[in-house]
Every structure is written in structure tokens, then in C-alpha cells.
Amino acid sequence: MYTTMEFSTVKWQQLSMEMKILEEDFYTRFGCEVEEFTDEKLNTNPVTRSMSAMYGGWIVRFAEMYHQTKGVMNAAAARVEQLTSSVDNAQTKIIALQDDLIKSQEDQLTSVRTTVREEVASVQSAVKTEIRSSWSEIAGQKTAQHHISTARIKEAVKSVVIEEDKSKNLLIFGKPESENEDVAATVSEILLDIGEKPHLVECRRIGVRGAESQDKRRPIKVKLSSSDAVLSILRNARALKSSTANKSTFLGPDRTPDERLAHNKLVELLRRKMVDEPDSYHYIRGGLVRSVKKS
């Protein structure tokens, strides 16, 4: 009895090679493929002692390969069933993990909602207490003073809103403009050059366009859907230095007047250091001018 074979690609390739050799011997003797062989072709050949020995050898080889093929196929079927069972178990575990994750997220969301409600209630209580304690003082002040306080409050709120809004803005400098320019298309082309394709909420040139200027390069103000998109673009902005079409284009955040003043001072200091300390590299990071020796 033949030993049962376990399934493997190497054994299957060996078995296929043996079958190929037998098929070639069969074709050499009968002049046809195995699947084309018929009783007529067998009967046209006289049976001699040597032919009987050859047929017997073929039958033994066929029996061996049949047994081996059967063993390999049975092993392959068992292996497929085992893999299918493993996949089913893995899918079951994944579904269970997904359920656990969803439940955990729901628990976290409930906890966050509870915390927010408690904080809001605490703030509201503190505000009401402050209003009650200082209402008599406010009511006794002059009308003009009351108007000034209200104006200051409105100005503070407006400042917060503007600052939040500016974080979603991006400024593009140095890009030439043309007649009947599609500003959105220009911006998309610049951002694609650094591998960015964000959602553009609004794009427009800012400043007065001088008709006498041949090289018009007014800045472009771009509004995006989130401040995270702005940060991602600014992180990749240095890639424009190696661009062919946008080498002279620069990207920057939409700064407030105070921020622009502070940044201009940093740039001025950077330029002085580049002249005074040529043996070092100088750059702006974290609101400071930093230097590193070239060596």
C-alpha cells in the first residue's frame, strides 16, 4: 500500500511533472494525447510480449499516480476546510471586537456628554452668581461707562471669532495673475504640486490691482474647511522650492496685524543673522530665530 501524501505545492509540482513525463511517453507510442486515446487506437497495435510488459508498466505508474493524486487532493480538501474554519473564527472575533469598540465609543461619548453638561452647569451657575453680585454696581455706573463695557465685550467676542476664522485661511504669495483668471484652478494647481487636494471654500486675490503693472502678483487668500488642512499644507510648503512651475510661490498663514508685526521682526532678525553669522544656517521656528553650525 502506498503512503498517504500531505498537501504541499512542492509535492503537487512533482506529481504534475511525473504525469507530464507519462503523457509524453504515451504520445510517443500512440501518436495522440491521453484524452484522445480510444479502443480503436489500442486494437490497431499488435500485442507482443514487449508491448504487454510496457502496458503493465504504464498501468503500475498510472496506479501510483492515481493513489498519490487522491492523497494530495484529500489533504488539500482538509487544508481548505481548515483555512475556511480559521477565516470564520477570525471573522467572528473581528465582529466581536467591533461590537466591543462600538460599545466602548458609546460609553466614552456618554461620559463626555455627562462631563460637558456638568461643566456647562457649573459655568452657568458661576456666571449667574457673578451677575447677581455685581449687578448693583453695574446699575449704579454711568450710562457712558456701561456702553464702553458692552463695546469691549463685543470687541473681545469679535476678536475670538476672527482668530478662529483666520486659522482656516491660507495666503499664497508670488503667483503671477492673468486676465480672466480662474483663481480656484490656480490654487488647486499650486497645492497639487505639493501633493495636497483640500476642499476649497473660497479663493480670491486681495489688494488693489494696478493696471500699469506688467507683473501682477497680488496675494491669494484661500479659505479651507478646517484649520488642520491649513497646517498640513504649511508643513509641505517647502516642497515648492523644487517645483518648476511654482518655484517663486510662497505659502503662509493668515496672520493678524500683531502677528504680522512680530513675524516681520523675526524675518528682519533672520536676515541680520545671515549676514553677521554666515557660518551657520538660520531659520524661524516656534516664534524664534534658531541657528545651526554648517559644519
Q: What's the CA gap between 182 and 110, in Å, rounded?
A: 47
Residues 2, 120, single domain; the answer is: yes
Q: How far, in whole angstroms, is CA 134 from its chain's centroid?
A: 53
The 10s digit of each residue's pLDDT in 119-160 is 777 767 766 666 665 555 555 554 444 445 566 665 655 555
Instruction: Look at 122-126, 159-163, 242-246 and tell me which has the smallest mean pLDDT.
Output: 159-163
Share of the chain above pLDDT 70, in %: 77
Tell whether 227 and 127 lie within a shared domain. no
Q: How many domains does the chain have?
A: 4
Say what the pTM is. Answer: 0.41
Residue 223 has pLDDT above 60, yes or no: yes
Position 144 scores a pLDDT of 46
Grid cell 471669532 is found at 161
Q: Check whether residue 217 and residue 116 sit in a common domain.
A: no
Residue 200 has pLDDT above 80, yes or no: yes
- Pick the range with the lowest mean pLDDT from 100-104, 206-210, 220-224: 206-210
CB 170 within 8 A of CB 218: no
Looking at 163, 184, 212, the residue that finishes a domain is: 163
Q: Residue 283: what are its φ and ψ, rounded to 5°?
A: -155, 160
d(CA 183, CA 202) in angstroms, rounded, equals 9
Domain harbouring 245, CATH code: 3.30.70.330
What's the Cα-to-Cα distance from 165 to each of 153, 173, 198, rounded to whole Å? 18, 20, 17
Residues 158 and 206 in one domain: no
Cβ–Cβ < 8 Å for 196, 270: no
Spell out the residues 6+ positions from residue 164 whose beta carbon is closer than 8 angstroms to its own.
none
Please give the residue range of the domain that contains residue 261. Answer: 256-295
Identify any residues that bridge with 253 across adjacent strands, giving them in sequence order. Answer: 170
For residues 174 and 247, membership in a common domain is answered with yes
CA distance 139 to 155: 22
| Pair 291, 278 in one domain | yes
Tell me, yes or no, whether 250 and 261 share the same domain. no
Q: Identify whether residues 34 and 95 lie together within a single domain.
A: yes
Identify the pLDDT of residue 130. 62
Q: Choose the weakest-confidence range: 38-47, 50-59, 118-127, 263-272.
A: 38-47
Instruction: Measure the CA–CA gap between 216 and 183, rounded to whole angstroms.
Output: 13
Residue 203 pLDDT more than 60? yes
Residue 222 banded pLDDT, cuts 50, 70, 90: very high
32: which DSSP letter? S
Q: Residue 167 above 50 pLDDT?
A: yes
Residue 96 sits in the same domain as residue 155: no
Regarding whether 44 and 124 lie in a shared domain, the answer is yes
Average pLDDT over residues 8-32: 76
Identify whether residues 12 and 72 lie together within a single domain.
yes
Kindly state the average pLDDT of the residues 37-57.
Answer: 69
Answer yes or no: do 2 and 64 share one domain: yes
The mean per-residue pLDDT over the stretch 38-61 comes to: 70
Distance CA 100, CA 293 (A): 53
Query: What does the pLDDT read at residue 188?
Result: 93
**Residue 77, pLDDT score:** 75
